[in-house]
Structure 1
Amino acid sequence: MEFIEHILGFFQQGGAFMYPIALVLVIGLAITVERLLLLRRAERENSALWKQIQPLIEQKDFNSAEQLAKGSDSAVGRVLGAALEHARTHGDSRAELELAVEESLMEVTPIIEKRTHYLATLSNMSTLLGLLGTVIGLITAFAALAKADALEKADLLSAGISEAMNCTAFGLMVAIPFLLIHAFLQTRTNDLVDSLEMACMKLVNARSAANRGNR
């Protein structure tokens, strides 16, 4: 209970700008949870489907691989399914297949990267809101000093500085974790995109090798 009371007291002493910083915190946490769940699900689904499709590609059974890919809603399934369908209907030259793969990746990648960049923006907003609250708190404190009695000036100045510093501290406490979370999620996102590109490259190479073998 004492810890909760200390947190509440810290929040109340920070002034009005503590509330927009708290709103930034809530929004950032919601984005973090949503992105973590999406990336974990995407990684799990991609890994499971790739384990099934990879042997078919290595065996040059592209029809079965296409059916399996198009029956999945995973990112790798959408990319490979679209690429294999394009190769089957519009020609399976390496250039055609690479264009189909790039087009599919351009459709899937924004979904994977969606909203992650907001965390960096929210981190900057939290820092700036904390600084703005500090500046306004100091302005208010010094303005009150001009009208206060000599005996009250020390107390007013101490209260004003305390309020200003609380706002800065809260802003930084929100901003620093979001910077770390953004870096972590960005790394996970890049790894997922790299795995999609790797799967696409293996498909292109296998299809090209099959075409050369049929000539």
Structure 2
Amino acid sequence: MFLQTPTPIINTTTETHVFSLWEILFGGGFIGNIIMISIFLLGILALYIFLERYFFIKRASKQTPNFLENIKDFVQEGKITTAIDYCKTIDSPEARMIEKGLARIGRPISDISNAMQNQGQLEVSKLEKNLNILASASGAAPMLGFLGTVVGMIMAFFEISNVTGAVSPKLLASGIYTAMATTAVGLFVGIPAYFFYNILVTNVDRLVLKIQTHVNDFLDTLNTPL
């Protein structure tokens, strides 16, 4: 009977770290967590502004059938008071602008045009409300993300500098991916906010062009001899 040498058992099991999204997002310490929460709040604010403005502009863009034709008929028939009352029943920017013009019929056409332009500036400011905040959020979110990454990298290398002996690659990697999470989240919030802003600006410009067309048609009606 031969004497068998026992085969040594080699432990090939390596320690695996379970992926945790929560740990990645909120594992950057006190400062990193504050920055991450700020980015998420900016994202919520940007989404709220986009939805609120989108539906507001959509309501303002709703067309009233035969609105301008009815106004022209009232003006040609001399029913200015009826035309003003008709404009008051319609909740739209062009109706309020034309109402201002109707209230000044009898004055020089330049006075009527100026009154309508002043009302138009008020209407445009209503349409563009909070768009500057949305634009700021689209730029601030990535900047906050970069700030969080820089702060996280500084803290990670500071911890490494205090380690005596060989530095574990795991320690270095964990500090880096935790720090870069803020940049990823910042871009995740900033890029959609940038598109949200441009969508709203495009819709406002399209609506302003439509309003200006109606206003010009109304002024042409006043300039047309009866």
TM-score bucket (shorter structure): 0.7 to 0.9
Aligned equivalent of 1:36 = 54
**Structure 1: gaps (5+ residues):** none
Whole-angstrom CA distance in 1 between matches of 2:66 and 2:21: 52
Aligned equivalent of 1:130 = 145
Aligned equivalent of 1:206 = 221
CA 1:6–1:157: 2 relative to 1, 3 Å: closer
Whole-angstrom CA distance in 1 between matches of 2:67 and 2:56: 22
Whole-angstrom CA distance in 1 between matches of 2:159 and 2:217: 70
Q: Shift of the alpha carbon at 1:79?
A: 1.1
Structure 1 or 2, whichever has the larger Rg, is 2
Whole-angstrom CA distance in 2 between matches of 1:7 and 1:40: 37
What is the aligned residue count? Answer: 200
Aligned equivalent of 1:117 = 132
Contact 2:24 2:177 (C-alpha < 8 Å) held by counterparts:
no
Matched, 1:174 2:192: no
Whole-angstrom CA distance in 2 between matches of 1:205 and 1:8: 63
**Structure 2: gaps (5+ residues):** 1-18
Higher helix share: 1
Matched, 1:187 2:202: yes
Matched, 1:22 2:40: yes
Letter in 2 for 1:168: T
Aligned equivalent of 2:121 = 106
Q: Shift of the alpha carbon at 1:32?
A: 0.9
Q: RMSD in angstroms over aligned alpha carbons? A: 1.9
* 2:104 aligns with one of 86, 91, 105: 86
Q: State TM-score, norm by structure 2.
A: 0.81
Q: What SS is found at the alignment partner of 2:61?
A: helix
Q: Shift of the alpha carbon at 1:201?
A: 0.8
Whole-angstrom CA distance in 1 between matches of 2:109 and 2:214: 15
Whole-angstrom CA distance in 1 between matches of 2:198 and 2:21: 28
